[in-house]
Amino acid sequence: MKLLRDARLTARGRSVELDFVRGIAILAVMGFHFRTVHTGYALVDFVEYPLKSFGREGVNLFFTLSGFLVGGLLLRQYAQTGRIGARRFIVRRIFKIWPAYYVLILFHVIAGRHPRDTFLWQNLTHLQNYFGTSIVQTWSLAVEEHFYLFLPALLILLAHFRLRANALIGVMAVLCALVLGARCAVVARGDLQAAFAYTQYRIDSLLFGVLLATLYWMKPDVWRSLAARRGWLVGTVVLLVAWLALATRHVALDESIGFTLQAIGFCALIVLVLEHSGGLRTSWMYRAIAWLGVYSYGIYLWHSLALAPGEFLIREASALGVPPLAAWPVVLGAQFVIAIALGYLTTRAVEFPFLRLRDLLFPDLRERSAPARRDSGAVEGKVEGVA
């Protein structure tokens, strides 16, 4: 089986399949947050339903994908060298995440859209998921930041004991089970906010991605066997969709076992998209969603700025007597255009230049000359997870 062939990479060396997954996630997040017009038409409600219902699940998908990609960066190095270069890894992640993030924080300080005590110290210390922030979308970035510190430390410890793939998988599985148990306990106490936002209750979504990356880089035969079971993968994704449609409205159920079930389903989705996209990857819709994935981090950071224009258009349409059915696509479309434009411009102006500087100052030192554990080794430093 030929996996992730070089011909399937975009011009920037990225995997179009993984960008497609990112694109799905950012569409879910944007649609969930954007303001809309109630039209009273069942067909419009049907079309709008997937856009307005799965923003939290889009973040969960980002978590699992990030665990797969970021874990893969370290696990590939461990598979090749038997060690973990944690310091360089953390520095490279700082160049990836912090510049665009702190530009956003600086903008809000200057713009004065929120009182500073509602976001500034929380976001500067990356504790906003514990203490709250008025820049609400950034809570998940704190979970990611904590994960970037936890995972190298964990892998360094495991590498000290020279544990191999089976042991790594066992450790990840035990940690996921412990997190699930702790989250169920806090949900049972009624603290749904902690179960949703605190790192110790959410990190299993990322660890499931790391577990999948362990199979990819260190158990290639198992990965190929898993990828070959297309029917099982499709069935798992169908069950995931059923859960999203029917069970996520039950918040306590979803925040307890639901996050775990979603992570398993998203792992199946990642494998399915990577291995079985086939001719879909050449379609304009697939490419358009993948293009959004390239700019998903910037869009995620800045999409909240599209909400005020959306609210303004709703008020103006109502004042002018514009029929709701005519206002609906304008209001929703304008917000998508604004958010995507902001994400594109800030990614080009901030994220990409800092990535070039990072690669100049701290180049990726993994052994690219070593025999690839995959047929093409496309999942590498250029294909990095964002959330």
> What is the model's pTM?
0.91
- Distance between CA 177 and CA 182 in Å, rounded? 9
For the chain, 387 residues long, the average pLDDT of each consecutive 10-residue run is 38 80 96 93 90 92 96 87 86 96 97 94 97 96 96 89 87 96 97 97 97 94 96 97 93 96 98 95 95 97 97 95 95 97 98 96 64 40 38
Q: What is the pLDDT of residue 304?
A: 96
Q: What is the pLDDT of residue 16?
A: 94
Of 129, 122, 94, 134, the closest CA to residue 199 belongs to 129
**pLDDT tens profile 2-13:** 333 333 444 345
Q: What is the pLDDT of residue 381?
A: 36
Please, are residues 96 and 238 in contact by the beta-carbon 8 Å criterion?
no
Please, are residues 214 and 167 in contact by the beta-carbon 8 Å criterion?
no
- Distance between CA 385 and CA 22 in Å, rounded? 8
Q: What is the pLDDT of residue 159?
A: 83
Q: What is the pLDDT of residue 183?
A: 98
Q: What is the pLDDT of residue 202?
A: 97
Phi-psi region of 229 (alpha: psi -120 to 50; beta: other; left: phi over 0): beta
**pLDDT tens profile 66-86:** 999 999 999 988 888 778 888
